[in-house]
């Protein structure tokens, strides 16, 4: 099995919804940060990748047809080289909306005290390392994080050929993805999951203000 879609969009750009949508289209798993929590052995792979050790990508993704979200999105350049026939899917949202969501969810998890659960604690450490080494050390600062977000998206647009790149926003739904992949549009509604409040409840962060 080979990857057909490489998600270059950062977390909180509809990546969980995309995971479910791509799994529906391909009938095969889509790699997402949730997969890392379910496969603790992968935590060290990504921790080492952030330190500069190149994983055996085809072993990591042997069961998968697509990737979205961190940590894989932080390695979109390497993955686009490894899988030259894959579509690069850049999920985006307006920068202020992205910051408001990221700051209350994934960044809030990285700021708080390490959880007692050893697997979740190790995953949190890995995710924080990915943020520092592959996004920006200033991820907790609104101005710096927004600049890094915009810079990331612009770099993907510059480096990936237009005929290989699909830029997608959460409201776009099935149609642009299916058109680029040559697949029929499903009859059911596009999934919309993992709102800020749902994420905070799952992560034990409480209600946001």
The domain ranges of the chain are 5-203
Beta strands 87-91; 30-31: pairing state: unpaired
Q: Going by CATH, does the domain composed of 5-203 fall within 3.40.50.300? A: yes
Q: What is the mean pLDDT of residues 195-209?
A: 53
Predicted TM-score (pTM) of this structure = 0.91
Give the dihedral sign, CA 3/39/90/13.
positive
> What pLDDT, on the 0 to 100 scale, is given for residue 4?
98
pLDDT beyond 80 at 116: no
pLDDT digits (tens, 9 = 90+) for 1-17: 799 999 999 999 999 99
Residue whose C-alpha is closest to residue 115's, from 127, 124, 103: 124
pLDDT digits (tens, 9 = 90+) for 50-97: 999 999 999 999 999 999 999 999 999 999 999 999 999 999 999 999
pLDDT digits (tens, 9 = 90+) for 14-51: 999 999 999 999 999 999 999 998 999 999 999 999 99
Residue whose C-alpha is closest to residue 43's, from 7, 79, 10, 70: 70
Can you give the chain as a three-state secondary structure string?
CCCCEEECCCCCCCHHHHHHHHHHHHCCCEECHHHHHHCCHHHHHHHHHHCCCCCCHHHHCCCCCEECCCCHHHHHHHHHHHCCCCEEEEECCCHHHHHHHHHHCHHHHHHCCCCCCHHHHHHHHHHHHHHHHHCCCCCCCHHHHHHHHHHHHHHHHHHCCHHHEEEECHHHCCHHHHHHHCCCCCCCCCCCCCCHHHHHHHHCCCCCC
Residue 55 preceded by cis peptide, ω within 30: no
Give the Cα separation of 202 and 198 in Å (integer). 6
Residue whose C-alpha is closest to residue 124's, from 33, 197, 12: 33
> What pLDDT, on the 0 to 100 scale, is given for residue 45?
97
């Amino acid at each position: 099995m080979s990857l057909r879609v490489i998600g270059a969009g950062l977390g909180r750009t509809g990546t969980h919804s995309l995971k479910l949508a791509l799994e529906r289209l391909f009938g095969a798993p889509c790699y997402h940060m949730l997969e890392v929590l379910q496969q603790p052995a992968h935590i060290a792979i990504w921790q080492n990748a952030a330190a500069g050790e190149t994983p055996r990508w085809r072993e990591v993704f042997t069961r998968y047809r697509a990737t979205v979200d961190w940590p894989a999105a932080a390695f979109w350049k390497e993955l686009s080289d490894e899988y030259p026939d894959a579509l690069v899917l850049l999920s985006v949202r307006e920068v202020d909306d992205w910051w408001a969501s990221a700051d209350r969810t994934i960044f809030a998890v990285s700021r708080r005290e390490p959880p007692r659960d050893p697997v979740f604690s190790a995953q949190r450490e890995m995710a924080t390392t990915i943020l520092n080494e592959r996004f920006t050390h200033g991820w907790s600062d609104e101005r710096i994080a927004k600049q890094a977000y915009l810079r990331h998206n612009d770099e993907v647009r510059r480096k990936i050929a237009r005929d290989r790149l699909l830029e997608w926003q959460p409201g776009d739904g099935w149609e642009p993805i299916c058109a680029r992949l040559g697949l029929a549009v499903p009859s059911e509604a596009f999934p919309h999951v993992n709102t800020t409040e749902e994420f905070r409840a799952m992560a034990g962060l409480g209600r946001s203000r």
